[in-house]
Chains A and B, each alone.
Chain A
Amino acid sequence: MRIARSIDIPSGATLSNLYREHKIEYPKFFKMDTLCKLGFLASELLLEGDADRFEPREDRAVLMFSRNGCMTNDINYEKTMADYPSPSLFVYTLPNIITGEVAIRNKYKGETSAFLLEEYDEGRMWAVVEEAFQDSVTTSAIVGWIDCRSESEWTCKAYLIER
Chain B
Amino acid sequence: MKKRVACIGYGALTPVGITPADCYNAAAQGRSAITLHKSTFGCANAFVASLFEDRIAIAGNYTFFDSLIIRAAAQAIDSAGIDPASDRVAFILSTIKGNIEFIGKQDISLPDSAARMARYFNNPNPATVVSNACISGLAALVQGRRMMLTGRYDYVVVVGAEVQSQFIVSGFQSLKALSEKPCKPFDASRDGLNLGEAAAAIVLGDSAIGWELAEGAIRNDANHISGPSRTGEGSYNALRYVLREADINDLSFINPHGTATMYNDEMEAIAIDRAGLANIPIFALKGCFGHTMGAAGILESIISMIACDNKTILPTKGFEMLGVSVPVQVSAAKRSCSGSSFIKLLSGFGGVNGALLFKKGGQA
User: A residues touching B (Cβ–Cβ < 8 Å)?
Assistant: 56, 58, 62, 67-69, 71, 74-75, 77-78, 81-82, 85-87, 90-91, 93-97, 99-101, 103-104, 106-118, 121, 124, 127-128, 130-132, 134-135, 137
Contacts and interface: CB of A to CB of B under 8 A. Distances in A.
Contact of A68 (B109, B126, B351): B109
B111 interface: yes
Contacts, number: 163
A135 B149 CA distance: 12
Interface string B343-364: 0000011111000000000000
Nearest to B223: A104
B218 A112 contact: yes
Contacts of B109: 67-68, 71, 116
B39 interface: no
Interface residues of B, number: 56
B104 A78 contact: yes
A107 B217 contact: no
Contacts of A97: 133, 225, 349-350
Interface in B31-73: 42, 44
A137 B220 contact: no
A30 to B, nearest CB: 15
A132 B150 CA distance: 11
A85 B171 contact: yes
Nearest to A134: B146
Contact of B220 (A62, A85, A118): A62
22 contacts: A58-B237, A62-B220, A74-B100, A75-B103, A75-B104, A77-B167, A81-B167, A81-B170, A82-B44, A87-B171, A87-B175, A91-B175, A96-B349, A100-B220, A104-B225, A109-B233, A112-B352, A113-B139, A113-B143, A116-B111, A128-B128, A137-B241
B234 interface: yes
Contact of A85 (B97, B146, B170, B352): B170
B110 A116 contact: yes
A118 B114 contact: yes
